[in-house]
Structures are given as C-alpha cells and as structure tokens.
Amino acid sequence: MISIITITWNNLNGLKKTAKSVQAQTCRDFEWIIIDGGSDDGTKDYLPTLSATALSEPDRGIYDAMNKGIERAQGDYLLFLNAGDELADPQVLQHLYNDLHKENFPDFVYGPALEGRNNHDPVTKSARGIKFLFWGMPTHHQAMLYKRETLGKIRYNLSYKIAADYELTCRFLKNAKTVHMTQYPICLFEPGGISQQAVKQGRTEQFDIRQNAMEPADLYTAGGSYGTSSSPAGFVLVRTREAALQKIKLHRTKIWLRFC
C-alpha cells in the first residue's frame, strides 16, 4: 500500500484540486493522510468530507507537518503530495504498483514530473540519475516514493526551512540498496512553493547539506545503470582519497559561488 501524505495550511482551493486528483485514481490500494496546520479558511470543515486520515493543529512549518504525516503512515511506500499538487493522471498509482512488483519492490522510486504553467499546458521535467544527487534533487519531491521500512527513523531536519527534503533524500539514499526511475510522469507540480520563493536561501541550505550529508570522505555515485533500475548496485558508496575529494569539493564550491 502507498501512503499519500498531503500537507496544507490555508489553501482550501489547492486541497480541493489535490483531492480531485487522488479520488480519480483507478487503483484504490492507498491511504491518504492530510496534515493541516490549523487553517482558518474553511479547510477544517472540508476535511471530514474526505476519505482520509486528517489532523488539523498548529505546526512548526511544512517539514514538521511532513514528519507528522510519516508518523501516521501505515503504507509500504510514502508519497508526498502537497495541497495544490496533483497526480499526473488517474492511472499513476496503478503504474507505480505495476513497477513495484516488476522491480521487486525497490527502496526508492522516482520519475519525471509535469510542471504547471499559468494558462499554458504543463511541461515535462525529466528526472536525473542518482549520480547527479550532489547537484540537487533528481526530480520534484512529489515525484518520489520512499520505502517506509528503509526510511526507518529518518525524519525531516527542521533546521532547514527550504531544503530539508534534499537533506532527507541524501540520508535516505545512504540506506537504499535498490532504485528505480519510471519513464512516465508521477505528479503535476504546482509552481510557487516555498523553494521557488526563497531561491537564495535554498541554495545556501543545499550547499550546507553537501558539506555535511556527503562528508567527510564519502563520494556518492550511482552504480550499474546510474540509479535508473533496481539492481543491487543501484546506489554504491565509493571511497576516495581525502586529497582527491578536497580538490573536487574546491572545484564544486567555485562553481556554486559563481551561480549565487
């Protein structure tokens, strides 16, 4: 079973859009968990009309709400679909279940995402191989499935306000043995989220995460087919000499500063 976790705060219209997408799924083997931050826009009255496990109370931000969702999840896989986001089409969950069985239930599943544009058709954003994790998320957070057993006690680090999803993904993939990348879009991402509103802070946090989550002498690269299939070598830890790594870090730091 897949646990769909939706967080929301004063976004009733966005939640209704997400609900329509979830309710349209042809595969019904999922649970839907909604974490509301104590909205006062009518969300509380709307929640009881949904077939979902819902909680409405103040929280310490989006990642605190996501952690609450994780604690309540019972599914084998977690999919984070925030209010306003949608599944790409009514067959997405069925496609995912087919892939999970075919690929022998990998630890991590991710794929392309559709990006909404005002008054225009959505565009497809391709997913990147895990070997590029150093440079950022391989796809939108809403197009990733985390195996709950592999996630274990890993939770979002609330010290990061923008890039906690990146930090969690880096830590999660240290434990992941098998990875599968789908060829079809998983979500329709609604633009305008916090990561797009605070780009500079997000870059700063990502830089800090690279220095910590990938330290001190561990360089993460994808093995086999570079994280695009669920082979046992889907994610391999490669150790290099400290001097070589420091040279790589210096080069990447210069590139990062150039784009700030």
Query: What are the pLDDT digits (tens) for 193-251?
Result: 555 556 777 788 888 888 776 654 344 443 333 344 444 434 444 433 344 345 455 55
Where is pLDDT greater, at 11 or 236?
11
Pairing type for strands 236-239 and 218-221 reads: antiparallel
Greater model confidence, 90 or 249: 90
Q: Residue 246 has what pLDDT? A: 53
Query: What tokens were used for 54?
Result: 């819902």
- Express as a percent the part of the chain with pLDDT over 70: 77
Calculate what percentage of the chain has a pLDDT beyond 90: 66
pLDDT at residue 212, as a whole number: 75
- What is residue 91's predicted lDDT score, i.e. its pLDDT? 97
Second CATH level (architecture) for the domain 2-258:
Alpha-Beta Complex (3.90)
Place of tokens 């997405």: 92
Closest by alpha carbon to 6, among 40, 32, 43, 37?
32
- pTM equals 0.82
Dist. CA 63–CA 69, nearest whole Å: 10
Average pLDDT, rounded, for the chain: 84
- Per-residue pLDDT at 134: 86
Mean pLDDT computed over 139-147: 97
C-beta neighbour count of 238 within 10 angstroms: 10
Q: Which residues contact 54 (CB under 8 A, 6 or more apart)?
A: 33, 34, 35, 36, 47, 48
pLDDT of residue 198: 66
Q: Where do the domains of the chain lie?
A: 2-258
- pLDDT tens-digit profile of 145-166? 999 999 999 999 999 999 999 9
Query: Residue 161, exposed/middle/buried by CB under 10 A (0-12, 13-18, 19+)?
Result: middle
